[in-house]
C-alpha cells in the first residue's frame, strides 16, 4: 500500500484512533509504541472492535487488515503531512512557553466569526497530537490552528515540516521545560525554529511588538506586529487588569473575562489575527468578551468574602512571576499567595524557587503559603512564610490562617494538585 492509498482509505474511514480501547467502527488504528506499551499487540483487538485497517510495524501481527510499515509514528506523521497538502487550507501555528492554548482558543473564537475554523483539541500539541490535529481537518475547513508544544531542540522544526504553516506566532520565551532545552538561550533557540521555518518558506510571522526578543529575531522576516508600540500594525492598549483584562483598540473597548495582565498579550494577538483576516471589530469584541478560560487556567472563584485566583493548571518561573505581578495589580483590601512547587526545571531548580521566595517576601502579602518538597526545603525556617510538604498537610492547617477580605492567588505545577484547596478554603 502506498501513502496515497492509505490516504484514500483514511478519507473513506471514520477517522484515526491510537487507543485500541476507544476504537470506533471503521476507524484506522495506528499501533504506536510508548515507553510501557506496544500498540502492535492490540492490532487483533482493534480489528475485532471494528477497525477498518490497522497500521503496524511488527510483522508478527500481520493479517489481511493490517498495513505493515517501518515505523508507525513516521507513517502517522507522513499521512498528516499528505493530508495537509491535499486540503491546502490556511494553517496558523502557535508555539511558545506559556499561553499557547489560551491564545489558540482566542484566535479560534475570533476567526470563527468569519471563517470555518478548526483548532487543536485541548492540548494535543506534540509529535503525535499535531498529526492527529491535522488529520481532524477536512474540506469544509478554511483555516486550521495548530498548537505546537516542545520540550527539546528540533521538535518545533519537525512539527513545522509536517504541518507546513502559512502563519505563526510565538506566545513568549519563558522558563518552561528549562531542563530539556538547556536554559533560556536554548528555549529561545528552540521556539525560534517556528520563525526559521516561516522565513525559509517566505511566510508571515505575527509578533508581539512589545517583545524585544521577538522583534530582534524577525528582522529579516515578513511580519505583522501587534502591541502597545506606536508603530504596531495593530495597536492595542491595556486599560486595566483588575482583575479582568480590558483593552483599548483605536478608542474602542474590549472587556474580557480573562484575568492577569499576561492575558493582555494573548488577547491582543487574537485581535491582531482578526484585524489581519478582515473580521469586523464588532465581531472580534463579541468573540473575546464571551470567551471564558478553560478549567484551572486563571479562573476567578468567589467564596463568601474571599476571591480566589485559581491558576493551578501549570507553573514555571516565568508564569509564576507573571501571576504574582498580576495579583499586585488587583485592587483588594488584602492579598495572599498559596504557591506550589514548579516541576521540570532541572539544575536551576533551587535558584528559581528561591527567586520566587525573594519576590513574595518583597510584597505586602497578608499570608505567604508555600507547598511542595522544594519550597519546604528552602523556606520552612523562614519568618513570614508558612511552608508545607504537600497540599494535604496544608489543608489540615488551613484554619489557622485569616483570609478575610482577601484575594488569594493559587498557583503551582499540575502535579501539586492545588485545586483541591478550593473546596477546603
Ligand atoms: P501547555 O504547555 O500546558 O500546553 P500552554 O502554553 O498551552 O501550556 P495555557 O494553557 O494557555 O498555556 O496557560 C497555562 C498558564 O500559563 C496560565 O494559566 C497562566 O498561568 C500562564 N500564562 C498564560 N499566558 C501567559 C503569557 N502570555 N505569559 C506568561 N504566562 C502565561
Ligand atoms: Mg497548551
Structure letter (DSSP) for residue 151: S
| Residue of minimum CA distance from atom 25 in ligand 1 | 99
Q: Residue 72's Cα: distance from chain center in Å?
A: 26
The answer, yes or no, to whether residue 296 has pLDDT greater than 80, is: no
- What are 116-135's pLDDT values in tens digits? 999 999 889 999 999 999 99
Exposure string of 319-342, with b = 16+ CB inside 10 Å and e = fewer, is bbbbbbebbeebebebbbbbbbbb
Q: Is the CB of 119 under 6 A from ligand 1?
A: no
* Integer Cα distance of 192 and 172 in angstroms: 10
pTM of the model: 0.90
- Dist. CA 366 → ligand 2 center (Å): 32
Going 156 to 162 to 163 to 165, the CA torsion angle's sign is positive
Q: What is the arithmetic mean of pLDDT over 80-109?
A: 97
Q: What is the arithmetic mean of pLDDT over 198-205?
A: 97
Which parts of 328-372 are beta strand (E)?
334-340, 367-371
Give the CATH fold of the 3-76 domain: 3.40.1390
The verdict on whether residue 154 carries a ligand-binding annotation is no
**Best residue for ligand 1 mutational test, from 238, 298, 314 (most atoms within 8 Å of Cβ):** 314
- Tell me the Cα Rg of the chain: 23
Q: Is the CB of 99 under 6 A from ligand 1?
A: yes
CA angle, 137 as apex, 40 and 97 as ends, to 5°? 80
**In DSSP terms, which residues pair with 310 in a beta bridge?**
299, 410
- pLDDT score of 1: 85
ipTM exceeding 0.95, yes/no: yes
The verdict on whether residue 101 carries a ligand-binding annotation is yes
Provide the Cα torsion 276, 281, 287, 291; round to 10°: 90
Q: Is the CB of 366 under 6 A from ligand 1?
A: no
Q: Is the CB of 123 under 6 A from ligand 1?
A: yes
**Best residue for ligand 1 mutational test, from 94, 96, 102 (most atoms within 8 Å of Cβ):** 102
Q: How confident is the model at residue 243 (pLDDT cuts 50, 70, 90)?
A: confident
- What are 392-416's pLDDT values in tens digits? 999 999 999 999 999 999 999 999 9
- pLDDT score of 155: 97
Q: Which atom of ligand 1 is nearest to the CA of 266?
A: 27
The domain made up of 299-424 is a member of CATH 3.90.190.20? yes
Work out the number of other CB atoms within 10 angstroms of the CB of residue 15: 12
**In DSSP terms, which residues pair with 66 in a beta bridge?**
54
Q: How confident is the model at residue 79 (pLDDT cuts 50, 70, 90)?
A: very high
- Dist. CA 10 → ligand 2 center (Å): 27
Q: Is 379 left (phi over 0), alpha (psi -120 to 50) or beta?
A: alpha
Q: Which atom of ligand 1 is nearest to the CA of 96?
A: 6
- Dist. CA 291 → ligand 1 center (Å): 16
* Integer Cα distance of 22 and 172 in angstroms: 36
- Dist. CA 241 → ligand 1 center (Å): 17
- What are 344-387's pLDDT values in tens digits? 999 999 999 999 999 999 999 999 999 999 999 999 999 999 99
* Integer Cα distance of 171 and 100 in angstroms: 6
Q: Residue 68's Cα: distance from chain center in Å?
A: 34
**Best residue for ligand 1 mutational test, from 98, 176, 325 (most atoms within 8 Å of Cβ):** 98
- pLDDT score of 176: 79
Q: Where are the domains of the chain?
A: 3-76, 89-290, 299-424
- What are 265-294's pLDDT values in tens digits? 999 999 999 999 999 999 999 999 999 887
- What are 383-396's pLDDT values in tens digits? 999 999 999 999 99
- Dist. CA 78 → ligand 1 center (Å): 30
Q: Is the CB of 100 under 6 A from ligand 1?
A: yes
DSSP-assigned states of every residue in 378-413: HHTT-TT-EEESSHHHHHHHGGGS--TTEEEEEE--
Q: Is the CB of 336 under 6 A from ligand 1?
A: no
- Dist. CA 118 → ligand 1 center (Å): 20
* Integer Cα distance of 272 and 284 in angstroms: 10
* Integer Cα distance of 383 and 397 in angstroms: 17
* Integer Cα distance of 343 and 300 in angstroms: 24
- Dist. CA 292 → ligand 1 center (Å): 14
Q: How many CA atoms lie within 13 A of 274 on its CB side?
A: 31
DSSP-assigned states of every residue in 245-298: EEEEETTEEEEEEEESTHHHHHHHHHHHHHHHTT--HHHHHHHHHH----TTSS
Please identify every residue whose CB atom is under 5 Å from ligand 2, which is an ion.
100-101, 123
Q: Is 45 helix (H, G, I), strand (E, B) or coil?
A: helix
Q: Which atom of ligand 1 is nearest to the CA of 313?
A: 18
CATH number, domain 89-290? 3.40.1190.10
Q: Tell me the pLDDT of the chain averaged across its residues.
A: 95
Q: Is 307 helix (H, G, I), strand (E, B) or coil?
A: strand
- What are 19-49's pLDDT values in tens digits? 988 999 999 999 999 888 999 999 999 999 9
The verdict on whether residue 2 carries a ligand-binding annotation is no
- Dist. CA 380 → ligand 2 center (Å): 33
Amino acid at each position: 500500500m502506498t501513502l496515497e492509498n492509505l490516504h484514500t482509505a483514511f478519507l473513506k474511514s471514520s477517522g484515526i484512533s491510537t487507543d485500541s480501547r476507544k476504537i470506533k467502527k471503521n476507524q484506522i488504528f495506528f499501533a504506536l509504541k510508548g515507553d510501557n506499551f506496544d500498540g502492535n499487540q492490540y492490532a487483533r483487538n482493534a480489528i475485532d472492535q471494528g477497525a477498518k485497517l490497522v497500521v503496524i510495524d511488527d510483522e508478527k501481527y500481520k493479517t489481511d487488515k493490517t498495513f505493515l510499515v517501518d515505523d508507525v509514528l513516521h507513517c502517522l506523521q507522513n499521512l498528516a503531512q499528505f493530508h495537509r497538502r491535499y486540503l491546502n487550507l490556511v494553517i496558523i501555528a502557535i508555539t511558545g512557553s506559556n499561553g499557547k492554548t489560551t491564545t489558540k482558543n482566542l484566535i479560534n473564537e475570533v476567526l470563527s466569526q468569519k471563517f470555518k475554523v478548526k483548532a487543536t483539541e485541548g492540548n494535543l500539541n506534540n509529535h503525535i497530537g499535531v498529526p492527529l490535529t491535522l488529520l481532524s481537518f477536512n474540506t469544509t475547513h478554511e483555516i486550521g490552528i495548530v498548537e505546537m508544544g516542545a520540550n527539546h531542540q528540533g521538535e518545533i522544526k519537525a512539527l513545522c515540516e509536517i504541518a507546513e504553516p502559512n502563519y505563526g506566532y510565538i506566545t513568549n520565551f519563558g522558563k518552561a521545560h528549562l531542563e530539556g532545552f538547556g536554559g533560556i538561550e536554548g528555549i529561545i533557540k528552540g521556539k525560534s525554529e517556528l520563525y526559521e521555518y516561516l522565513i525559509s518558506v517566505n511566510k508571515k510571522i505575527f509578533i508581539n511588538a512589545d517583545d524585544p526578543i521577538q522583534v530582534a529575531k524577525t528582522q529579516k522576516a515578513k511580519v505583522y506586529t501587534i502591541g502597545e508600540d506606536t508603530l504596531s500594525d495593530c495597536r492595542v492598549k491595556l486599560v486595566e487588569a483588575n482583575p479582568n483584562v480590558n483593552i483599548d483598540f483605536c478608542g474602542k473597548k474590549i472587556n474580557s473575562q480573562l484575568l492577569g495582565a499576561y492575558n493582555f498579550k494573548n488577547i491582543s494577538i487574537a485581535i491582531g489575527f482578526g484585524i489581519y483576516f478582515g473580521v469586523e471589530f464588532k465581531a472580534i469584541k463579541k468573540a473575546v468578551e464571551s470567551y471564558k478560560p478553560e478549567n484551572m487556567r486563571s479562573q476567578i472563584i468567589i467564596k463568601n468574602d474571599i476571591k480566589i485566583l485559581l491558576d493551578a493548571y501549570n507553573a514555571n518561573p516565568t508564569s509564576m512571576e507573571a501571576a504574582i505581578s498580576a495579583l499586585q495589580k488587583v485592587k483588594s483590601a488584602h492579598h495572599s499567595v498559596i504557591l506550589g512547587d514548579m516541576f521540570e526545571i532541572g539544575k536551576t531548580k533551587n535558584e528559581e524557587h528561591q527567586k520566587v521566595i525573594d519576590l513574595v517576601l518583597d510584597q505586602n502579602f497578608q499570608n505567604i503559603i508555600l507547598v511542595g518538597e522544594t519550597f519546604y526545603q528552602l523556606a520552612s525556617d523562614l519568618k513570614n512564610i508558612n511552608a508545607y510538604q504537600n497540599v494535604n498537610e496544608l489543608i489540615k492547617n488551613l484554619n489557622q490562617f485569616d483570609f478575610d477580605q482577601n484575594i488569594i492567588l493559587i498557583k503551582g505545577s499540575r502535579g501539586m494538585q492545588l485545586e483541591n484547596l478550593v473546596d477546603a478554603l
